[in-house]
């Protein structure tokens, strides 16, 4: 092999090495952008739900039972923002920014948005009921527990929070959401809000409450799907190494 060929191969190797280094640098930059974006997203959600939890708790302490009936007027604006932002949960999962499966994320986000924007937001009669307080309270506690890990960098010492959220808060949240939907059914029947009128020859219209009954059925199907998904992360959390100072 003459010196010219050696020189060519050396140049090719140098070019490949430079290309690999450039790709590695680009991957590092993209990963940093991804981590900063997810941190800011989690931080905004954490602040929103922490504020909601703090306000509801303070109102309950200061006003007692009266706080159960004004939760919507005091917290709805912040939760509207949090739930609109929560659509990014589905997008993040869909594009691979997080390891969460898309379907469970979509079930939770869509379910909460139906309750918040449709059941509570469109029915003034629902907004002063105590079930609103409990739905908002359980949402905020659950999300504070979930978001505390990425925002505050909690470790295995706090794995009990994950178990508490999955085993207790998630079922209670699903139950209170179902109660809210059930309470709204007669109101939708009376107001005919969102009902679909059919031709006069048919003689009736499709009430929106029928759609909500289907939604309830799908809610419990989604509940078992999400529980199946959550069991694995819960188990892994208890296999983390204990924290050592």
DSSP string, 168-195: IIHHHHHHHHHHHHHHHHHHHHHH-TT-
- Return the active site residues: 170, 177
Interval 197-209 mean pLDDT: 64
Q: Who has greater pLDDT, 233 or 17?
A: 17
Torsion, Cα 131 136 139 144, to 10 degrees, reads -140
At 207-233, the pLDDT tens digits run: 788 889 998 988 888 788 777 766 554
Question: What CA–CA distance (Å, rounded) separates 82 from 142?
Answer: 13
Q: Who has greater pLDDT, 216 or 243?
A: 216
Question: What CA–CA distance (Å, rounded) separates 95 from 4?
Answer: 47
Confidence grade of residue 234 (pLDDT, cut at 50, 70, 90) = very low
pTM for the full predicted model: 0.79
Tokens 């609103």: give the residue: 132
* pLDDT surpassing 60 at residue 202: no
**Report for 13-17, 56-60, 63-67, 211-215: range of highest mean pLDDT:** 56-60
**Joined tokens for residue 74:** 């005091």
Question: What CA–CA distance (Å, rounded) separates 140 from 54?
Answer: 9
Give the list of residues 6+ apart from residue 85 with CB closer than 8 angstroms, or none: 41, 44, 45, 48
Question: What CA–CA distance (Å, rounded) separates 199 from 245?
Answer: 72
**Joined tokens for residue 138:** 């359980």
Tokens 């998630």: give the residue: 170
Q: Who has greater pLDDT, 185 or 4?
A: 185
At 112-147, the pLDDT tens digits run: 999 999 999 999 999 999 999 999 999 999 999 888
Phi, psi of 197 (to 5 degrees): -70, 140
User: Do 121 and 76 touch, CB atoms closer than 8 A?
Assistant: yes
Give me the percent of the chain exceeding a pLDDT of 70. Answer: 77
């Amino acid at each position: 092999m003459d010196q010219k060929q050696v020189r060519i191969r050396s140049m090719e190797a140098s070019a490949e090495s430079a290309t690999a280094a450039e790709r590695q640098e680009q991957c590092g930059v993209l990963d940093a952008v991804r981590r900063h974006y997810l941190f800011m997203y989690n931080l905004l959600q954490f602040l929103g739900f922490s504020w909601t939890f703090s306000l509801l708790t303070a109102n309950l302490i200061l006003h007692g039972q009266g706080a159960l009936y004004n939760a919507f007027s005091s917290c709805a604006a912040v939760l509207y923002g949090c739930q609109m932002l929560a659509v990014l949960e589905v997008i993040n999962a869909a594009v691979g920014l997080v390891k969460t499966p898309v379907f469970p994320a979509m079930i939770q986000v869509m379910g909460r948005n139906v309750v918040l924007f449709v059941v509570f937001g469109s029915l003034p009669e629902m907004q002063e009921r105590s079930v609103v307080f409990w739905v908002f309270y359980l949402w905020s506690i659950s999300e504070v527990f979930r978001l505390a890990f990425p925002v505050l960098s909690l470790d295995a010492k706090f794995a009990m929070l994950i178990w508490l959220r999955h085993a207790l808060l998630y079922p209670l949240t699903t139950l209170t959401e179902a109660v809210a939907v059930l309470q709204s059914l007669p109101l939708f029947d009376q107001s005919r809000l969102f009902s679909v009128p059919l031709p006069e020859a048919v003689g009736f219209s499709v009430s929106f409450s029928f759609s909500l009954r289907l939604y309830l059925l799908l809610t419990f199907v989604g509940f078992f799907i999400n529980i199946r998904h959550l069991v694995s992360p819960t188990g892994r959390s208890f296999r983390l190494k204990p924290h050592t100072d």
